[in-house]
Structure 1
Amino acid sequence: MIDAEVFEFVERCQKHTATGPLLTDLLATVRNLGFEHLILSGVPLGGQKLAPMVELNGWPEGWFARYVQADHAAVDGVCIYSAKTLKPFFWSDVPGKWSDTEGSRRVAGEATEFGIWSGFAVPMLSVHHWQSVLSFASSSKDCRVSQREQVQLVTMAIYAGMSIQALGTEDEAEGSDLLTDREKEILLWAAAGKTSSETSQILGLSERTVKWHSARAREAFGVATTTQAVVEAVRRRLIHP
């Protein structure tokens, strides 16, 4: 890939106003370097779930569903190492203490069922998460690219991440009045696994009042369950569990 293609992506990147076109553009560009899939997300810590933290999902559909359902992020060496470094790395270079565990080897083996064999990860700081990572995936058993191409990948990853954060900040500002402070508080306790009864005791409210606020939050997002309301509130950066 020539540098001009990278600069052209950067220029387009700054003009994207939605995640879908940005993902399509980035996937098309990095395909020239041998990468067919990618994912940009916050790095889960302390029991956090991956799904609400995903910003760009270019994983094979079946693989993403399995990864989330099995909570692979908790044992995946690539994901774990992404929380411990800001240095870009090839998946194959993850230190053995995280990559050679039974769980991490299982994740890597299952990924091959979906045509994912190797990859390159770009950790980065985030205003919405402890840390984020953009992980590029390849069907090649060894996706080694040159030092110059690594710089190209990092440049595109950083600009994509900056664009996503800018979009998220705009969404937060526009949707900041969707929930009252009490509704946010109750969703935070729901995110922590508390029942309506437990939340009522913690906040000194009646259980009926807690359920009423939960219902108002569900109505605000147009969802059927409180769990879905929690996910939507996290996605919109209205709460930070």
Structure 2
Amino acid sequence: MIDSDVFDFVERCQKHKATGPLLTDLLDMARNLGFEHLILSGVPLGGQKLAPMVELNGWPAGWFERYLEAEHAAVDGVCIYSAKTLKPFFWADVPPKWSDTDASRRVASEATEFGISSGFAVPMLSVNHWQSVLSFASSAKACSVSPRDQVQLVTMAVYAGMSIQALSNTDEHGVDDILTDREKEVLLWAAAGKTSSETSQILGLAERTIKWHATRAREAFGVATTTQAVVEAVRRRLIHP
């Protein structure tokens, strides 16, 4: 694939108005470099669920469902390493600390049942998540990608990620709608170090109501604790402690 093809893709990225056409376009480009599948998502941390963080799903039919059901993100070396680096990497180069565990090897083995044997990951900063990663997957046992091809993959991944963020910002149900005003208020007081009991007294609400709003906020972000919800709300600029 020549560089002008990548520049043409970059121009098209700015014109896509929905994720479906963007995914189709990116998959077509990736196939030119030997990759049949891809996924773009936030990198789950601290008990976060992967499903609500997925922004482009070009995984084989059945594999995405298997991955979610088995909660593979928590043990998959590729996923774990994607949270620890901003440097693009081949899946085969994930450090043994994360790739050589029994659980991670099991994920890799199961993936081959769906035609996924190797890949190239592009971690990137994200407005919507702590960090995102676009992972390109191949049925080949080992990726054969030249340094120039790697630059092309990274360029396309970054612009695809930027396009996703632009689409989310223009969505009629914008990012601000993920939390109600009351949920934001509860998180603000939690950020100030107030307990549910103290917040209930401040807001004049029952403590169980405060806990309910905190639970809804955690569910909205797919996190396990209110502290994580506070961090996510601050990062997304939904609250300003």
TM-score by length of 1: 0.79
**Is the contact made by 1:184 and 1:238 (CA closer than 8 Å) also made in structure 2?**
no
Helix, strand or coil at the partner of 2:62: helix
Letter in 2 for 1:121: A
Letter in 2 for 1:176: D
2:48 aligned counterpart, secondary structure: coil
Contact 2:118 2:137 in 1 (8 A): yes
User: Partner of 1:120: helix, strand, or coil?
Assistant: strand
1:50–1:68 CA contact under 8 A, matched in 2:
yes
Which runs of 5 or more structure 2 residues have no equivalent in the other structure? 188-194, 223-228, 230-235
Q: Does 1:26 align with 2:26?
A: yes
What is the alpha-carbon distance in structure 2 between the residues aligned to residue 60 and residue 36 of structure 1? 9
Relative distance call for 1:66 and 1:177 in structure 2 (3 A) is closer
Shift of 1:57: 0.7
Equivalent position of 1:130 in the other structure:
130
Structure 2 SS opposite 1:148: helix
Q: Does 1:39 align with 2:29?
A: no
Unaligned runs of 5+ in 1: 189-198, 215-225
Who is 1:109 aligned against? 109
The number of equivalent residue pairs is 218
Specify whether residues 177 and 73 from structure 1 end up closer, same or farther in structure 2 by C-alpha distance, changes over 3 A only: closer
Q: CA offset at residue 76 of structure 1?
A: 0.4
The residue aligned with 2:119 is 119
Matched letter for residue 82 of structure 1:
S
Residues 167-195 of structure 1 show CA distances to partners (whole Å, capped at 9, x for unaligned) of 12223774636853114567x7xxxxxxx
Cα offsets for 1:211-240 (capped at 9, x unmatched):
9x87xxxxxxxxxxx69x7369x9xx7979
Distance 1:172 1:83 in 2: 30
Mapped to 2, the partners of 1:171 and 1:202 lie a distance apart of 36
Aligned counterparts of 1:177 and 1:76: Cα–Cα separation in 2: 32
Which residue of 1 is the match for residue 83 of structure 2?
83
What is the CA distance between 1:48 and its match in structure 2? 0.9
Structure 1: distance between partners of 2:51 and 2:27: 20
Q: 1:112 to 1:159 in 2, by over 3 A?
A: same
Q: CA RMSD in A?
A: 3.1
TM-score of the superposed pair, with normalisation by structure 2:
0.79
